[in-house]
Amino acid sequence: MMANTAVTLENIVALCKRRGFIFQTADIYNGLNGVYDSGPLGTLMKENIRQAWKRSLKQLPYDIVFFDGALLGNEAMWAASGHVENFHDPLVECKACNARFRTDDVDLEKACARCGKKEWSESREFHMMFKTNLGASVEQASVAYLRPETAQSIFVNFKNIFSSSRVKIPFGVAQLGKAFRNEITPKQFLFRMREFEQMEMEFFCTREQSKELFDFWRAERLSFFTRIGITSERLRLRDHETDELSHYSSATSDVEYLFPFGWKELEGIAHRGNYDLTQHSKHSGKELSVFDESTKQSFIPDVVECSVGVDRLFLTLLFDAYVQEQLEKETRTVLRLHPVIAPIKAGLFPLVESLGEPFARLAKDLQGEGIEVQYDASGSIGKRYRRHDEIGTPFCFTYDYQSETDGAVTIRHRDSMQQERIAMDQIGLYLRTALMWK
Ligand code: ATP
């Protein structure tokens, strides 16, 4: 299998800006490196990604509860997790032009790509957490960090969640939300950002259950990506070598995607043992074990973690769906997105504006039901199709003169471009069925 060679990063960046998926943040002030805003379509599509992830967890035969932790965390918490000490990347600086790079991104035998000189500094560790002080005080006690991952707030709340929810081991706690990393070199658009969003799930279990559950989650997470429409041949699971593993992990697998710039991590699945809860118990002095009825003993549960970035998945979906097709007289750009992921589910077109009333009303009804459709009455029907092909709208309906008498409309399918007639009062049912998903 090849990467999707029909598409370049430049195509995606241009499409995102042109059609309102993603903008460079504070664009009119020259932006902020590694930080982006979502436009109207990007906002819809990201929400679809989050919903699909939540639904995929809810469909499983396990208890999974959801959690929403704070973005700011105190120093003690991040010291206990090991982040204050260990969350850094190696950095090297060009002494001639002061450009900074991740050491593993440059060949120190070669000259600086920015200025052409070869005057490298020693490599040193660069800390990636954003540090701040709360309130007016600058004492150590007021130090806070923006979270570089969502997982730790689940661990520090483990006892709160366990005692307040009706869950039993094994069970999962899932969280989605922003994370911040002061990446040395943000790059490849949404692939490596400084402010991004994660979807993480920590699954608590016994040591005996953990091996089987690790295998279960590897298979389940890989399957999730194909179920939201990503080409299976461009996905693979890669087990980490022993020397790649984090100090706390006994096994880690990445789901990787074949980007135009190579196979890269999309999601990490890690067997974290009971490292995190043990650390937080030690540092806080609080008991974080649970009681096992069968053995009548207390134990600190093991954890299998699944962690994926919303933005990285968003980029992956765009790369995978982007196609340019040569038609008789023109090239059409199509995003072959799964209907569940597509930001707009249907275009509703009156053939001419004077026929607009029934579809304008239907658009409002469907939107009220939570089905995102767009009423579009301007330009030729062909132009309207192209506009919607490019943003991945799976279905377009056209209301014409004949509809006035027979109550039927034309449905046109994005991928095949085939058209057929269906009763107008069946549109809602048609879309609801297309959006059912497993
Ligand atoms: P990488 O090796 O690519 O830096 P990582 O191993 O540091 O990733 P994790 O800490 O495992 O990443 O984070 C889990 C997931 O969060 C990643 O698989 C990715 O989807 C997403 N992610 C991590 N860092 C970023 C970032 N800077 N920008 C966008 N998404 C990110």
Whole-number pLDDT of residue 140: 67
* Cα 407 from Cα 397, distance rounded (Å): 13
Prior bond of 170 cis (ω within 30°): yes
Look at residue 247 in the predicted model and tell me its pLDDT: 79
**Predicted pLDDT of residue 135:** 86
Record the pTM: 0.95
What are the φ/ψ torsions at residue 324 (nearest 5 degrees)? Answer: -115, 120
Q: What is the pLDDT of residue 295?
A: 85
Q: Point out the ligand 1 atom lying closest to the alpha carbon of residue 186.
A: 27
Burial 305-319 (b: 16+ CB within 10 A, else e): bbbbbbbbbbbbbbb
Closest atom, ligand 1, to C-alpha of 194: 27
pLDDT band at 437 (very low <50, low <70, confident <90, very high): confident
pLDDT-based confidence at residue 1 (cuts at 50, 70, 90): low
CATH homologous superfamily for the domain 9-86+132-318: Bira Bifunctional Protein; Domain 2 (3.30.930.10)
Which of the pair, 261 or 2, is modelled with greater confidence? 261
Residue nearest to atom 22 of ligand 1 (CA): 309
pLDDT tens for each residue of 342-367: 999 999 999 999 999 999 999 999 99
**Considering just the CA atoms, what is the radius of gyration of the chain in Å?**
25
Q: Per-residue confidence at 434, pLDDT binned at 50, 70, 90?
A: very high
CA-to-CA distance for 407 and 426, rounded, in angstroms? 10
β-pairing, 171-180 vs 195-205, is antiparallel
70: three-class secondary structure by DSSP: coil
Q: How many CA atoms lie within 13 A of 339 on its CB side?
A: 20
> Residues 65-89: what's their mean pLDDT?
95
Whether a cis peptide bond, with omega within 30° of 0, leads into 40 is no
Query: Which pLDDT score is estimated for 223?
Result: 98
What atom of ligand 1 comes closest to residue 254's alpha carbon?
A: 18
What φ, ψ does residue 301 adopt, rounded to 5°?
A: -65, 155
Question: What is the per-residue pLDDT for 250?
Answer: 86
Nearest CA to ligand 1 atom 19: 309
Weakest mean pLDDT among 35-49, 288-302, 363-377? 288-302
Query: Which of the listed residues 196, 267, 269 should we mutate to test ligand 1's pocket, taking the one with most ligand atoms within 8 A of CB?
Result: 196
Lowest-confidence range among 246-250, 257-261, 430-434?
A: 246-250
Question: What percent of the chain has a predicted confidence (pLDDT) above 90?
Answer: 89
User: Residue 104 Cα, ligand 1 centroid: separation in angstroms?
Assistant: 16
User: Residue 337 gets which letter from DSSP?
Assistant: -
Q: Which residues is 334 bridged to in the sheet?
A: 323
36: pLDDT strictly greater than 90: yes
Place of tokens 């307040």: 164
Q: Which residue has the tokens 């029934």?
A: 358
Q: What is the pLDDT of residue 5?
A: 76
Q: What is the tens place of the pLDDT at every residue in 183-211?
A: 998 889 999 999 999 999 999 999 999 99
Q: Which residue has the tokens 């590694």?
A: 34
- Domain boundaries, given as residue ranges, for the chain: 9-86+132-318, 88-127, 344-434
Residue-wise pLDDT for 285-319, tens only, equals 999 999 988 889 999 999 999 999 999 999 999 99
**pLDDT, greater one: 272 or 1:** 272
The residue whose CA has the least distance to atom 2 of ligand 1 is 265
Q: Going by DSSP bridges, is the β-strand pair 346-350/395-399 parallel, antiparallel, or unpaired?
A: parallel
Work out the mean pLDDT of the chain and round it to a whole number. 95
Averaged pLDDT, 431-437:
94
User: Does 2 score more than 90 pLDDT?
Assistant: no
Nearest ligand 1 atom, CA 190: 29
**Domain 344-434 is classified in which CATH homologous superfamily?**
Anticodon-binding domain (3.40.50.800)
Angle between helices 427-434 and 357-368 (to 10 degrees): 40
pLDDT band of residue 78 (cuts 50, 70, 90) is very high
Shortest-distance Cα residue to atom 24 of ligand 1: 192
* Residue ranges around ligand 1 (CB below 6 Å): 149, 181, 183, 192-193, 196, 198, 265-268, 307-309, 311-312
For ligand 1, mutation pick of 146, 198, 235 (most atoms within 8 Å of CB)? 198
Looking at residue 178, what is its pLDDT?
98
- Beta pairing class for 195-205 and 302-309: antiparallel
Report how far ligand 1's centroid is from the alpha carbon of 309 (Å). 6
For residue 112, name the pLDDT band (cuts at 50, 70, 90): very high
